[in-house]
Amino acid sequence: MWKTDRVARGDGQLNHDLLPGEKGPQDACGVFGVYAPGEEVAKLTYFGLYALQHRGQESAGIAASDGERLLVYKDMGLVSQVFDETSLGMLSGHVAIGHCRYSTTGGSTWENAQPTLGAAAESTIALVHNGNLINSAQLRRQIEKGEGGAAAHPELRRGNTTDTALVTALFADASGTLEERALQVLPQLRGAFTFVFMDEHTLYAARDPQGIRPLVLGRLERGWVIASETAALDIVGASFVREIQPGELIAIDPNGLRSRRFAEPDRKGCVFEYVYLARPDTSIAGRGVYESRVEMGRALAREHPVEADMVMPTPESGTPSAIGYAAESGIPYGSGLVKNAYVGRTFISPNQTIRQLGIRLKLNPLREVINGQRLVVVDDSIVRGNTQRALVRMLREAGAVEVHVRISSPPVRWPCFYGIDFATRAELIATGLDVAEVCRSIGADSLGYISEEGMIAATRQRPDQLCTACFTGTYPIELPEAGDLRKNVLEVPRDETSVPTS
Ligand code: SF4
């Protein structure tokens, strides 16, 4: 495994967030795997991760094996910063896995970057993970009681504080082939997980029984691909075969693909993947994310109509819903803001003058388009409200006579324990304020959120097969006691509210 100092370090700022320091919902990783003898598997993985970069920008890593030697290369930063021709050239073989990571606070370190490494009887294990386990504290206690305790496991010894390192250790502590070990360990895990893992010969993938995060299987002419999103299959030229089913473990080796069920499926897909997290060109459970977002905009127009001159999105995440709102309402669609897509990725710390520019660092209003107009501004969600407040102010300063804000998800009132990092409950604006108060707080002329029913209908999924916990507070996987759910459960005293994610 390599640790380098020569690449630029990531600042985690390349994201959809429009206001510096004002984090939107953060996904917790993209995973990718490929089994393809005769192909440059590390390069395929590189481009797969490139397509999944929106799911995590803090670190990236790839493991590859030629059947005898399994190597890992990982570092902090974007996929394009971590890898170059030389590093990819070292990762030769026929099987590879890759990861791009977003972490919760405190966990963005090289030690926590993935893939993680462990040892089985006569093989090496490399593992990547998207999601978040909710029984990490219990799993850690179990490992500590085992022979040699946590210190027996290199990742934990090195200071890796993620749930992924725990699963790697559990695989190492189990017995038999890696497939047999996985079948022993996976039923013990609670929470959201999509794993892609490998030894020197075989590629594996597994998805939690609720299928909270997406994971799909694709086919290359000479092999197989696993990815968090269908968009990553498209980018490497793989055709979509099917989803990895909730509760399913698959293995791919020279004998082909085999599937085992390690738990009964109880599907509860994350509705927020449709609202915001996934790429618009991805499909989840047979439904296109872009079409879902357009339909959410249409539903918003029916539920919260208003007289206005122009519908515009908060770029880019509000765009499909704004298109839907405009189509349904008959109000013309327009762009009132231009986004500077690259400014977020700066390695220069902003001074006070720059910081005060706030949202202007990322968005520039088109005054000639906005001046004198009654605007409908469509966004995907409101977390703390600071972004929308700054946006409304900017539009008024550019001459808007009315600003009506429409949101294509219901108010976010509850934290996510399944791999998405929102603000804390106290920071969520909708926890303390009703809709009229939020409207006043952000300075809009009116505010309308889509209903839960409208959002769910747009996904074309059965309501009982979706997780909507951050909107409803009803968690589909029973949560352990609060003390075991705090942030950085493996590294700090019990005073916070979620666990480190992978
Ligand atoms: S709580 Fe919200 S973000 Fe988390 S899995 Fe459920 S729907 Fe998705």
Which residue bears the tokens 């995440």? 317
Beta strand 466-467 with 269-270 is: parallel
Q: CB neighbours of 7 closer than 8 A, spacing ≥ 6?
A: 75, 76, 77, 81, 82
Beta strand 283-284 with 287-288 is: antiparallel
Which CA distances in Å does 230 have to 80, 243, 272?
21, 9, 16
Domain 287-466 matching CATH 3.40.50.300: the answer reads: no
Q: What is the CATH number of domain 30-268?
A: 3.60.20.10
416 is in an annotated binding site: yes
Contacts 24+ apart (CB under 8 A), 184-189: 186/249, 186/262, 186/263, 187/262, 187/263, 188/135, 188/139, 188/142, 189/133, 189/135, 189/139
The helix/strand count (H/E) of the chain reads as 18, 23
Ligand 1 touching residue 333 (CB < 6 A) = no
30-268 and 287-466, same CATH topology: no
Q: Is 439 annotated as catalytic?
A: no
With beta carbons less than 8 A apart as the criterion, state whether 346 and 13 touch: yes
Residue at 458: amino acid letter? A
Domain ranges in the chain? 30-268, 287-466
219: tokens are 């086919």
- Rounded distance between C-alpha atoms, residue 116 and residue 164, angstroms: 7
With beta carbons less than 8 A apart as the criterion, state whether 86 and 100 touch: no
Beta strand 248-253 with 95-101 is: unpaired
Ligand 1 touching residue 212 (CB < 6 A) = yes
| pLDDT the model gives residue 348 | 54
Q: For residue 277, give the DSSP letter.
A: I
Percent of the chain with pLDDT over 70: 86
282 alpha carbon, distance to own chain's centre? 13
Ligand 1 touching residue 272 (CB < 6 A) = yes
CA–centroid distance, 471 to ligand 1, in Å, is 8
| pLDDT the model gives residue 276 | 94
Q: For residue range 255-296, what is the model confidence (pLDDT) as tens digits?
A: 999 999 999 999 999 999 999 999 999 999 999 999 999 999
Residue at 52: amino acid letter? L
Q: Does a cis peptide bond (omega within 30 degrees of 0) precede residue 316?
A: yes
pLDDT in tens, the chain (502 residues): 544 444 444 333 444 455 555 555 565 799 999 999 999 999 999 999 999 999 988 899 999 999 999 999 999 988 999 999 999 999 999 999 999 988 653 477 888 889 999 988 789 999 999 999 999 999 999 999 988 899 999 899 988 998 999 999 999 999 999 999 999 999 999 999 999 999 999 999 999 999 999 999 999 999 999 999 999 999 999 999 999 999 999 999 999 999 999 999 999 999 999 999 999 999 999 999 999 999 999 999 999 999 999 999 998 889 999 999 999 999 999 999 998 766 554 445 556 666 667 778 788 999 999 999 999 999 999 998 988 999 999 999 999 999 999 999 999 999 999 988 877 788 899 998 999 999 999 999 999 999 999 999 999 999 999 999 999 999 999 988 765 665 454 444 333 333 344 4
Catalytic residue among 18, 28, 29, 182: 29
3: tokens are 């640790």
317 is in an annotated binding site: yes
CA–centroid distance, 449 to ligand 1, in Å, is 17
